[in-house]
């Protein structure tokens, strides 16, 4: 079974989506109810001599014409009827059948009533694909855009009818039934916008030393797009080719064979969190601390070690041959300093071990970026428990023999 890639560090990338607002005109065949049919027949039969609401109600034996008035209002809204003179009050004799109304009467059983429904569509601007489920969290302005906003195409101003019908089906819009039909779609351009969805991206290192950017929440198409994109990972990796860890100085870490390092790694440490995790490891040590002299050059570490030593923690500082350390460096009181031979544990010479079971190490390893460039990078990692114990035994034996 292939070894699982190790997460190096994560960043948040803003993914571009276009939100398209539109209005869809939908016709849905249905059987007209009695009052709709009566109104249509009156207007057809009494063309030119149409009665008022009151007269029609009296002829039909209806005490209150309100039902006729409400029905006419609905038919006007559905464009089955239209007002002869819009400036005049609503009256039955001020109405006439539209072309749609004529079809309504000729079909006798069904009529097409047009309805307008608001429509919200979402498109992934990297893959140009429609997404039926828009991202929940978006923002108007990106912080870390995966695409330069200036390179985005113009927003949509229209949709083809056939395409719109397919998109509505994909979204399972409730207003669309098996009998209904979309006859028109108008894009409301002023209501649309570009939105940016923050997505977690992980830089991972696999067992062959390849660095890959993966977005766990991405679709297969989105991840394929990422794999083909130059995200500047070469530049990101190069940033850590000489990791100062807040000392401001370049450190000469020996190159560790990748396989040797990969087998020992328990978890990679985000470069921005290395110092914090080193400080935490030292503060949490209960019985013993073995540490490379390099870490004492990092601001604040020496004071923490001095405080722990004063509390009774057994601290041993290993000064590896070849490590350039400022001669004026003052070592904390209460610590034991051991100078090593040049060949002793050179691949783990920038480590610290607490209580035999927890260890952090800096190693220089060769990684391959997506652009197929080989780059030596200093990587901070916490080591597996077995390797931490093994490393502790090696240093303890050397110390006892010194």
CATH number where 59 lies: 1.10.10.10
How much is the pLDDT for 236? 58
Rounded-to-integer distance, Cα 177 and Cα 168, Å: 11
Short-list 327, 328, 333, 280, CA closest to 317: 333
Could you list the beta-strand ranges (E) of 31-126: 81-83, 95-97, 111-124
> Which residues 6+ apart lie within 8 Å of 368 measured at CB?
208, 209, 210, 211, 374, 375
Do residue 295 and residue 377 come from a single domain? yes
Mean pLDDT, rounded, for 185-207: 93
The CATH number for 309's domain is 3.30.870.10
Please, what is the average pLDDT of the chain? 86
Q: Report pLDDT for 16.
A: 95
Same domain, 255 and 349: yes
Residue 1 clears pLDDT 50, i.e. is over it: no
Q: Taking residues 177-202, report their average pLDDT.
A: 91
Residue 286: is its pLDDT beyond 90? Answer: yes
Tally the domains of the chain.
Answer: 3
Q: What's the pLDDT tens digit per position in 18-42?
A: 999 999 999 877 777 888 888 998 9
Q: Is the pLDDT of residue 387 over 90?
A: yes
Rounded Cα–Cα distance for residues 293 and 391 (Å): 16
Tell me: do 379 and 396 sit in the same domain.
yes
* Shared domain check, 7 and 139: yes
Report the pLDDT value the prediction gives residue 234, as an integer from 0 to 100: 59
Say whether pLDDT at 317 is over 80: yes
How confident is the model at residue 109, as a pLDDT?
A: 58
The SS3 of residue 341 is: coil
For residue 349, give both structure tokens.
């010479």
- 58 and 181 both lie in a single domain: no
Q: Which of 109, 141, 168 is the last residue of a domain?
A: 109
- The pLDDT, as a whole number, for residue 51 is 93
Are 119 and 258 in the same domain? no
Mean pLDDT highest for which of 23-37, 260-274, 334-348? Answer: 260-274
Q: What is the pTM of this model?
A: 0.64
Helix (H, G, I), strand (E, B) or coil at 383: strand
| Cα–Cα distance for residue pair 197/188, rounded to 1 Å | 22
69 in the same domain as 44 = yes
- What pLDDT is recorded for position 178? 80
Greatest mean pLDDT range, 90-94, 134-138, 223-227: 90-94
Q: How far is CA 123 from CA 143, 227, 307, 354, in A?
A: 20, 20, 57, 51
**Better-predicted residue by pLDDT, 104 or 14:** 14
80: burial class by Cβ within 10 Å (0-12, 13-18, 19+)? buried
Nearest to 173 by CA among 19, 18, 24, 17: 24
Residues 190, 222, single domain; the answer is yes
CB atoms within 10 A of CB 228: 8
Q: Which of 109, 128, 145 is the last residue of a domain?
A: 109
**Which one-letter DSSP state was computed for residue 210?**
B
| Weakest mean pLDDT among 216-220, 300-304, 321-325 | 321-325
Domain span at 83: 32-109
Residue 244: pLDDT band with limits 50, 70, 90: very low
Residue whose C-alpha is closest to residue 93's, from 38, 32, 35, 46: 46
| Final residue before a domain boundary, out of 204, 231, 258 | 231
Per-residue pLDDT at 329 = 62
The pLDDT of residue 313: 92
Predicted local distance difference test score (pLDDT) of residue 251 = 67
β-strands 314-319, 288-292 pairing? parallel
Q: Give tens-digit pLDDT for 37-63.
A: 889 989 988 877 999 999 999 989 888
396 shares its domain with 260: yes
């Amino acid at each position: 079974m292939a070894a699982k890639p190790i997460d190096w560090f994560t960043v948040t990338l803003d993914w571009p989506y276009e939100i398209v607002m539109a209005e869809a005109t939908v016709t849905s065949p249905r059987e007209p109810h009695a009052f709709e049919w009566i109104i249509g027949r009156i207007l057809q039969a009494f063309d030119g001599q149409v009665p008022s609401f009151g007269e029609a109600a009296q002829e039909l034996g209806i005490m209150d014409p309100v039902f006729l008035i409400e029905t006419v209002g609905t038919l006007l809204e559905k464009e089955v009827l239209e007002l002869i003179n819009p400036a005049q009050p609503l009256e039955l004799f001020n109405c006439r059948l539209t072309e749609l109304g004529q079809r309504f009467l000729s079909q006798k059983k069904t009529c097409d009533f047009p309805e307008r429904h608001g429509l919200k569509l979402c498109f992934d601007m990297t893959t140009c694909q429609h997404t039926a489920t828009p991202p929940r969290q978006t923002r108007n302005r990106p912080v870390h855009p995966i695409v330069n906003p200036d390179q985005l195409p113009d927003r949509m101003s229209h949709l083809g009818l056939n395409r719109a019908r397919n998109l509505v089906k994909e979204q399972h819009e409730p207003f669309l039934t098996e009998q209904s039909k979309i006859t028109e779609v108008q894009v409301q351009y002023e209501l649309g916008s570009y939105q940016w969805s923050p997505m977690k991206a992980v830089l991972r290192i696999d067992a062959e030393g390849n660095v890959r950017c993966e977005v766990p929440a991405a679709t297969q198409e989105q991840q394929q797009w990422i794999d083909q994109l130059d995200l500047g990972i070469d530049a990101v990796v190069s940033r850590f080719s000489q990791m100062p860890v807040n000392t401001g100085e370049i450190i000469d870490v020996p190159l560790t064979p990748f396989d040797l390092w990969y087998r020992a790694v328990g978890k990679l440490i985000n470069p921005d969190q290395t110092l914090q995790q080193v400080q935490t490891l030292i503060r949490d040590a209960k019985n013993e601390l073995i540490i490379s002299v390099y870490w004492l050059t990092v601001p604040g570490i020496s004071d923490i070690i001095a405080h722990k030593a004063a509390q009774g923690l057994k601290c041993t500082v290993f000064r590896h041959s070849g490590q350039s350390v400022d001669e004026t460096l003052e070592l904390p009181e209460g610590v034991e300093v051991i100078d090593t031979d040049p060949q002793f544990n050179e691949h783990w010479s920038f480590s610290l071990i607490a209580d035999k079971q927890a260890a952090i190490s800096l190693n220089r390893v060769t990684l391959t970026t997506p652009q197929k460039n080989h780059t030596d990078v200093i990587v901070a990692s916490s080591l597996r428990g077995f390797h931490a114990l093994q490393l502790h035994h090696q240093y303890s034996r050397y110390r006892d023999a010194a």
